[in-house]
Structure 1
Amino acid sequence: MKQRNRHALTHLSFLSCYITKNLQVTKHWVYALLDPQSDSCFLSETTMNKILARGSIVNLKLSTMLDEKIITSKKIDGLVVKDMDGVTNINLPSVYTREVIPASHSQIPKPETIRQWPHLKKVAEKLYPYQSDAEIGLLIGLNCTRALKPRDVIPGNENDPYAVQAALGWGVIGMMHNPNDDSMNNYNCRLVSADERRCHFAYKTQAKEINPVQLKKMFEVDFNERSSEEKVSIEDKRFLTKVSDGIHQRDDGHFEIPLPFKDDNINLPNNKILAVKRLARLKSKMIKDSQYKADYIAFMNDIVDKGFAEKIPADEDSQVEGRIWYIPHHGVYHAKKPRKIRVVFDCSAEYHGEVLNHHLLQGPDLTNNLTGVLCRFRQEPIAFTCDIEGMFHQVGVDSKDRDYLRFLWWEHGKLDQEPIEFRMTVHLFGATSSPGCANFALKASADLYEDEYGTAAAEFVRKDFYVDDGLKSVASPSEAIHLIESSKLLCKRGGFRLHKYISNSKEVIESISPSERAKGIQNIDLHCNELPIERTLGVQWCVELDTFQFRIELKDKPFTRRGILSTVSSVFDPLGLVAPLILTGKRILQELIRDGADWDDAIPADIKVRWERWRAELLLLSKLNIPRCYKPTDFGKLKMAELHHFCDASQTG
């Protein structure tokens, strides 16, 4: 499916609409956008939920003037547009959902604005008063010709805005400004249009299609930083409003945040049968693998014992139609920790076209920039890192939303008994909204307790955590000790526990309780033993030497474009410290792409020689030591201390 969305000076019209299901009038108002440059019709997800429509998951190839990409959508059939008077009914073709319709309320002229043009006065009288709180919820495209076809035109003078009558009413198109004022300050420099006749929808049927897999491009990841001036989308603003209004702190200090649904009137099918089938497969796997079974049961017992999950209370066991969802789950092991299992709750599981994650607002990216956190970690001579224990599980879910997080499990892990229903009481690892909610709660702790524990502790929590990993560098051991203590107390007040501390200063480590140190230094003699190498946000930090290192583990890959891509991508270097070396491998890959080599074609002999030489050089990275701190050890003693940097441009990189 391809949709050409070329919103550059096209004939656009808006309609003021109300939405119904089964032709029953509701009070939910939306605007509809008539766009003859779009191949298809689109519906906002909020509007879809308001009319209780359901659709099947599809992928659309969306083409605009600037880009072409694949988006996930839902296909809905059976919608009907009806004008305000109930005279005109238009059956829409298949409609596809989008988070929002790409249009602005500022593009909709008000009747009082249109009345300033003498030739449009009679049109203004036919328009309904402007509704500022009504969503632009529908886009009608070229495949619904009947809705777009002009019935009458009021042209006006050469450069005047003009009116067009379509089947559903009048629209006004053109630059809107006061005709008696030639000042450019009075121009609204957007293309504007309006058709304020009302219409409504009815839902009939739905279809199902397959969701294909995509391959992402990877050549622009070096030094990839997020702009601090990125605009917050409408969906992100809704997320922030919902969590800001809903967040509250319990007596134990932990925050509770409601699930940030895109629509409060969510209505889900009963998917218990899906959870039963997935649990049966899980049981079979546990019977075959006793170690997997033991680790899985220990994990589940732990989350129940800690109150992260609970049995459904007897007085709440009644089914509430449309407001209960069962989440399948499975266990995965950490690649570098073979005995550490994590149970993942599959919030992306689909049942009858519905997916819980599709109903949740992801929210803005509140995670600090990885490059920024690592760069600040290199500023001062004394460094330490720490971790938030079970970050997502420290933020509770409002009790009214917990039935959307039900799951099936055997009490005490006894597989010979019938499984019973549990529900999570905390935000899940696997829910699209959880990172945003956890980060919001963490930053709320910093805001609430900054006055009590100091700005330094609050700024550390706000700016120097990447998800649950905290990294900080300061000027002296005493400053580090004070910051560690104050930030621990601040986070504790918000329900978060900081632990797994490690530092390049043994004085700092000695000030920390062994139970709160990183596992590798809990039982060592700090006066005799060397400090270990720690993996910090994917970067190898040799704590004893206070240097960054690279651990290279090259696997045998075929001499093909696919194998080369795998090898080039295997070196994790978020700071670009070895980008000049990696560039050589990328140039070889670019050359293959330019020559039209297929993914699994054998590479030419001359390129193979260059590739093998570069691959051998790559292993030498394990001998490279880069000082963590920018400043030399005698930096503060120099009479004139300076830092220099150099950069250059390249024709090939």
Structure 2
Amino acid sequence: MLASLVAKVHNALVQATVNSLCDAFVLLDSASSNSFCSRALVNQLGITGNSYQFELRTLNSSGIQQSEMVDLSLSSKSGEILKLSAVYVVDEIPVKNSMVDLECYSHLSGIGPLPAYQSTDITVDILVGQDNSEALVPLEVRRGAQGSSLRECGLDIPSWSYEDKLVISLWDKEHRKVDGHHELPIPWRDRSETLPNNFVVAKTRLDSLYKKLVRNGSYDRYNAEIVKLVDNCYAEAVPDSELFMVDRIWYLPHHAVVVREETRQT
């Protein structure tokens, strides 16, 4: 459960050179499953991609989008290069920026100017999500003393929001233990809300993932991990007799998480 702040929360905004042609502001968003770029950037680069249909879901809306996918290359001033693949083209990246005074945070001293936070008049043209997770790995982490950074700038201490309390209350009332497993209800805002049957979109994404895993030689290893989840009863197939027993059907699109061998801990 995330605590709420009576303050603004900033995701990481960085500046990079795209395809060695132009500079752009990039939002690093670990909460997004996919990566996106603006159509204005694609037009500026003079590139085209493959037509593609995808489902875009946010907290406030969802819908099927017709767009295209492109590949981009990002480079930093220090010379690091990152290749982004399968980046969805959208009309714009809706990011509202605000200025940040680094002097408020003593543990961030010496970092130097951050162009993305020195003006409120910037345009973000790229959002990098979990499908290009290499860009989300922090190279350095600075952490102030617990609560000290908030006090330095006169901000309130973290506390549970009203919605946090509603969810905790729901789980206290409806939590149950089934076959040794804890079962908690999904905290829907509206339990009667209609959910789209997105089988076609989820199946298309799964087929695409399968082809990618076969192409890079990771399928056998990945499939073995899925088999382990089923064998250990961490996951189970929905019986055919229950597939159409409910009015609300929504398939969670499969998202691959692959841990590199050299990063594994023994």
Q: TM-score, normalised by structure 1?
A: 0.22
Q: TM-score, normalised by structure 2?
A: 0.50
User: Which of the two has higher C-alpha Rg?
Assistant: 1
